[in-house]
Every structure is written in C-alpha cells, then in structure tokens.
Structure 1
Amino acid sequence: MRFNKLDLNLLVALDALLKEHSVTLAAEALNLSPSAMSNSLARLRDYFDDDLLVQIGRKMELTPRAINLQEAVRDVLLRIDSTIAQAPAFDPRTSDRLFRILASDYTQMVLGPALMALAAQRGSTVRLEFAPQIKQPQHLLERGEADLLIIPAGYTSPEHPHAPIYRENFVCMVWREGRLARGPLSFERYVDAEHVVMQPRDGRVDIFDKSILKRHGVSRKVAVVTYSFVALPALLVGTDRIATVHERIAHRLLNVWPLETRPMPMAFDAMEQAMQWHKFRSKDPGLAWLRGLITAAGQRIDEF
C-alpha cells in the first residue's frame, strides 16, 4: 500500500531503524535479512532525500531529519495498531498476550500479591513483565514499548489518561535497639538524625525533601542513598539512622528485620498511586481488562 508515493510497509522498517540505530539489529527485530533491511533503508533515503542514518566512528547516528521523524513514525504505527489492527475481543482465560508494566519494586511488593492472586482466581493465562522506571517513563508508553505505567499520580504525564489505584501513607522506621527507638520521635529528632533515602532513578525530586523544605524550610541529613524502596529498612539495622517508608512496606518487613515504626512527626499527605496508559490505547480490550484487574487489586490490596 502506498500513500503519497510512500510504501507504508517501509514505515515499519523506518521505525525499527530509528529505534535500533543499526541495520543488523533492525533486521533482527523484524525477522528480515540484513540485505532486505539495507534495501529498505536505501528506499527510505531516496523517498525522504536524506541519509537518515550515518556512520560516525563505530556507530550509526540519526540525522536531524530522522530525529524529527522518530516520534511521528512511532505515533502513526501505534495509532494503527490500537485502532485498526487490534483484535475486537479479548479473553484473558485463553490469551497468552504479554503485558509490560513499568513499576517500582515498592509497587511489585505491595500491589503485586493482590494482582497475582486475582489473576489466578480468574483463570487468566496472560503473561506479565515488570520493568524498571527510567527517566521520563511515559516515553516508553508513547513508543509502544510498555503497556502501563504505575506511578504516583503527581508524576503522571498530562498527555495521557490515568486512573487512581489506591492511597498510601508513610511511617518512619528505626533500628529496634538504636537511640531513636527510645522515646517519641519529635520533628526535631527527625531533622537532626541521619537518613537513609531512596533516590528515584528517573530524576524525580524526592517528595519528602520537597515537602519538608516547602513547609518547614529544612532538609534531611542524607547519609545513605539506595535505588530500592524495599532495601531502605534493611539499611537501618545496627545504626541510629531513620528512613521514611511506605506504610505497607514497613508492615510487611517488621518481622524480617529488628525494626520499629514511628508515626510521621509532621503533617504529610498520603500518596495516590495511579496507572497511566497511552491515549490511543484506551479502547484496547486487553488493556482495559488489565486496568480493571489492577483496580480490583488496589481495592483488595490489604487482603494479601
């Protein structure tokens, strides 16, 4: 099929080339021979009157024209896939579809058990893949490389729809035998203590420091930084440090490590956890089923 003299089949090849920056890798991704992909690249160069990919040292880099085409081509293919090529029905009891979900280790630990249990109870045969959240994870939604993003509602993109899943409070955790476990945890003791914090790998500003600075004009004394929410409590053992932790993680790990919880010594809003998906895929029947399952899991999160 052609549109304005462009073979539309070449858009698939162009998308792979722009993503992989390699004729060989693009060919592998589409199960084509390198020579067939080279031929497609030649035809694309002729149509756009641009090299698109150029060899620089050992790598192939995109030309400015190719960079401008990258998002538009992915957008067109995603729209076709979600509106024209998408199957009209979906049965989770017979489908082997793979859903890729961007979620933190916190989400997997807290929401995961309810999600897995409900999927099993309903006889689902779909497959799930959890992937880490990178900087600007919504771009993976836009490129069709992820189906769902689970993230605090305050960090969702305004470009795509999202829905709430559940709310989460926070508590402080300290080593059971440490100085901070003796007596109440005041705001002054909280500020004076050394802290173990999770630093998001996607470049987001830490919500605790952001809130504390805004309301009280102080910041925490950060002694240890980790990339894992679940690792925070373990890093407190044997120290007089403190960690501000999701309440559900704290409750799940109290019997694992010799730790205790304390209420937050200042007013702190609960976090609303949300899921987000690409605007072109709102009517995808499989994704609609998955969103419904996640909503149900969020409502029963404390049962598992």
Structure 2
Amino acid sequence: MRFKKLDLNLLVALDHMLALQSVSAAAEKMFMSQSAMSNALTRLRTYFDDPLLVQVGKRMELTPRAEAMQPAIRDILVRVEATIDTQPEFDPTISTRAFNILVSDYTLRVLMPIVVAEMDRQGARVKLNLLSQRETPFLMLERGDADLLVTPDHFISPNHPSTLLYEDKYVVLACAKGPYADVEMDLDLYQAAPHAIMIPPSAGAKPAESLVLNNLGITRNVELTTFSFSALPHLLAGTGRIATVHAHLAKVAMKTTPLVQYELPFELETFKQNMQWHSYRDHDPGIIWLRDVFLKSALILSERD
C-alpha cells in the first residue's frame, strides 16, 4: 500500500532501523536479509531525500530529520497495532494473546505469583512475557513494546492512564541470629549499623528509599549492595547487617529465612505501586481484563496483611 507514493511497509523497517540504529539488527528483528533491509533504507533515503542513518566511527547515528521523525513514526505504528489487536470482545479462556508486562524483581516476587494464580483460577489461556524494567520503563510502553507497566508512582508517565494497585510500607530486617536480633531500633542505631541496600543496575539510578532518606538527612553505613530487591533479605542471613525493605517482600522472605523485623525509627511515606497502560489501549478489552486481574491480585495481597 502506498500513501503519497511512499510504500507504507517501509515505515515498519524504518521504525526498527531508527530504534536500533543498525541495519543488520533491524533485519534480524524483522526476519529479513541484510541486503533486503539495506535496499529498504536506500528507498527511504531517496523518498525523504535524507541519509536518515549515517556511519560515525563504528556505529550508525540518526540524522536530525530522522530524530524528528522517529516519535511520529512510532506513534503511527502503535496506533495501527492497537487498532489491529483490539477485538470487540475478549475471552481469556479462548484467547492465546501474549501480553508483555514490565515488572521489577520486587513485583515478580510479591505480586506476580498471585496474578498467575488468579489467571489460572479463571481458566485463562493467555501468554505472559514478563520483562525487566529499565531506567525509564514507560518508554517501552510508549513504543508499544509493553502492554502493561507495574512500577512506583514516580516512574509513570503523565501522558498515559494509570491507577494505584496498592501501597506498601518499609521495614527494617536483620538476621534472627545476628547482633541485631533483639535490639531497640532507634535512629542512632539505624544510622550506625552496617546496611545492605539495592542499587538499580541502570547507570546513575538510585533506589526510591535512598532518595527519600537523603532528603530527610538520614545516612546509612552501607557495606553491601546488590542489583536485586528480592535477594536483599536473604543476603542478611548469617550476617550482622540490616536492610530497609518493603513489608510485603519482608513477609515473603521471613517464611524461608531466619529474620527479625523492626518498624522504621522515623516517618517514611508509603510506597505506592501503580500500573500503567498506553492511552491507545484504554478501551482494549484484553487490556481491560488484564488490568482487572492485577487489581484483584493487588486486593488479595493487601488482604493478607
């Protein structure tokens, strides 16, 4: 199909090339030969009268015109995908639709077991692809690479609908056989004790509680860092360290690891877990069903307290 003499099939190829900044990677993702993708780039360069991708050293970079076009092209394709995927009705017991969901390892450990159990209870046949979050996870949502994002409220985008799933508080954990097994956890002890903390793998990123503690002027004596929320409680076993973790995660960890729990010796705002979806999917029956499953699961999680 052509529009103003442009083969619209080329837009899909262009979208991949601009996102990946690589002809070969785009060809692989589209299951095309590299020569076919190179031919598509040549045709696009001729149509737009612009090189679009230029070789700079060992990598390719976007031209100014390509950078300007990229968001609009992605937006067009997301609209088309949303229109094609949206069916007038959705039956999870019949549909084998695959949903891409962005989650942290905290969500993976605390909420997702309840979600998949609820789906099984409903006899759903849908498929789930659980994807790890990045520094700005909503960008994958905007690109159409994810159907649902589960993340704290400060990571959601103001440009798409979202809703609160549940709230969680922070608690202090320590080894039940360590030096902090039976103490009065006051602020002085909290700041003096050796801590284990989670540092997000994204460059320059900091955990949400660290940002809040810094604003409160509270320091921690950090002796151990890890990239995983869910591993943090288990790294305390047999040690003299403490950690600040989500209460729901602490509850799960204490079932298998000898730990003691303390309330924080200071006031800290609760952790708000949200889910977000693309505005073009707001009336998608499949996404509506998926959101309902997450809301029911979040309610089950909250009722377990």
Give the TM bin, normalised by the shorter chain. over 0.9
What is the CA distance between 1:149 and its match in structure 2? Answer: 1.0
Aligned length: 303
Residue of structure 2 equivalent to 1:212: 213
Consecutive unaligned residues in structure 2, runs of 5 or more: none
The amino acid that maps onto 2:254 is: L
Amino acid corresponding to residue 125 of structure 1 in structure 2: R
Amino acid at match of 1:252: V
Aligned to 2:127: 127
Residue 204 (structure 1) shift: 4.2
Could you state the TM-score of these two structures normalised by the residue count of structure 2?
A: 0.92
Partner residue, 2:43? 43
Aligned pairs for 1:8-157 within 5 A: 8-83=8-83, 86-157=86-157
1:154 maps to amino acid? H
Deviation at 1:153, TM superposition (A): 1.5
Supply the distance in 1 between the matched residues of 2:200 and 2:21 (Cα, whole angstroms). Answer: 28
Distance in structure 2 (CA, Å) of the matches to 1:60 and 1:204: 27
Instruction: Report the Cα offset of residue 36 of structure 1.
Output: 3.1
- Distance in 2 between the 1:20 and 1:213 partners? 37
Give the counterpart letter for 1:83 in structure 2: T
Taking structure 1 as reference, are residues 266 and 11 closer, same or farther at Cα in structure 2, changes over 3 Å only?
A: same
Whole-angstrom CA distance in 2 between matches of 1:279 and 1:225: 37
Q: Quick one: distance in 1 between partners of 2:151 and 2:8? A: 36
In structure 2, distance between residues paired with 1:127 and 1:69: 33
Task: Provide the secondary structure at the position in 1 that maps to 2:118.
Answer: helix
Give how far 1:269 is off.
2.0
Deviation digits for residues 221-262 of structure 1, max 9, x if unmatched? Answer: 211111111111122123221101111111111132221111
Counterpart secondary structure, 2:180: helix
Deviations 1:149-206 (CA, angstroms, capped at 9, x unpaired): 1111232111211111111122110111222222221111101112111112345443
Looking at structure 1, the residues matched to 251 and 20 of structure 2 have their Cα atoms a distance apart, in angstroms, of 43
Specify the code of the residue in structure 2 equivalent to 1:66: A
Offset at 1:121?
0.8
What's the CA shift for 1:35? Answer: 3.5
Give 1:19 shift.
2.4
Q: Do the aligned partners of 1:114 and 1:303 also contact (CA within 8 Å) in 2?
A: no
Could you say if the C-alpha distance between residues 85 and 230 of structure 1 is closer, same or farther in structure 2, counting changes exceeding 3 Å?
closer
Deviation by residue 1:282-304 (Cα, 9 ceiling, x = unmatched): 12221111111111111112578
Q: Are 1:78 and 1:143, in contact at CA under 8 Å, matched by a contact in 2?
A: yes
C-alpha deviation, 1:66, in angstroms: 1.7
Q: For residue 153 of structure 2, what is the amino acid of its counterpart? A: A
> Structure 1 302/166 Cα, relative in aligned 2: closer, same or farther at 3 Å?
closer
Q: Who is 1:236 aligned against? A: 236
Mapped contact 1:168–1:247 kept (Cα < 8 A): yes
* Equivalent AA in structure 2 for residue 97 of structure 1: R
Question: What is the aligned partner in structure 2 of residue 268 from structure 1?
Answer: 268
Percent sequence identity over aligned pairs: 45
The answer for the alignment partner of 2:185 in structure 1 is: 185
Q: Does structure 2 retain, via aligned residues, the 8 Å contact 1:209–1:220?
A: no
* Residues in 2 aligned to 1:79 and 1:243: alpha-carbon distance in whole angstroms: 44
State the distance in 2 between where 1:270 and 1:205 align: 17
Q: Could you list the per-position Cα deviations for residues 123-153 of structure 1 after superposition, in whole angstroms to 9, with x for gaps in the alignment?
A: 1011111111111111111111111111112
Q: Secondary structure at the match of 1:90?
A: coil
Query: Distance in 1 between the 2:272 and 2:206 partners?
Result: 17
Residue 107 of structure 1 and its aligned partner are, at CA, apart by 0.4
Q: What residue identity is the alignment partner of 1:132?
A: S
Contact 1:180 / 1:240 at 8 angstroms: preserved in 2? yes
Residue aligning to 1:168: 168
SS in 2 for 1:15: helix
How many Å separate the matches in 2 of 1:209 and 1:67?
Answer: 35
Whether contact under 8 Å (1:133, 1:201) holds in the other structure is no
Q: Note if contact 1:168-1:246 (Cα within 8 Å) is conserved in structure 2.
A: yes
The normalised TM-score by structure 1 is 0.92
